[in-house]
Amino acid sequence: MIQHERLSIGFGSSSRACSDDVIRLIEVSVDQIPSGTMLATLDRRASIGEIVASLLGLRLVLIPASILASVAEVTTHSPLALSKTRTANVAEASALASLGPSARLIVPQTKGRFCTCAIAALPITVRP
């Protein structure tokens, strides 16, 4: 059997963030973006997500706050994010939720200019 990982990059951003802010943070957080990697974020950030996904060649997954708030495996909790979005973490929760319950966080939330980023992985077994 061959083991591969499917990755998801989750990001959260304030209304002051631009796509360049998010892209810079992603580039600092991951050395190389493998084919098939997804970009995930809060559904209210669709416009910036579409730009970032397009520029990086990623598939965008938009997730409602009610789903993000139910992700228990997050390591960072922000009272500000909770008051603004109704979920205490957007980046980690988006990365994990986009891959499903077997996903694990491999890069915890990191902060950039007006944005946050986290990376989750889902192991995939391929039989030869």
CATH of the domain at 31: 3.30.420.180
Q: Which pair of tokens denotes residue 52?
A: 């970032």
pLDDT digits (tens, 9 = 90+) for 7-62: 999 999 999 999 999 999 999 999 889 999 999 999 999 999 999 999 999 999 99
pLDDT digits (tens, 9 = 90+) for 87-111: 889 999 999 999 999 999 999 999 9
Alpha helices in the chain (DSSP H): 19-29, 46-56, 65-68, 79-85, 91-99
**Rounded to an integer, what is the distance from CA 83 to the centroid of its chain?**
20
- Whole-model pTM: value is 0.90
Phi/psi at 66 (5° precision): -60, -35
Our count of domains for the chain comes to 1
Domain limits for position 40: 2-126
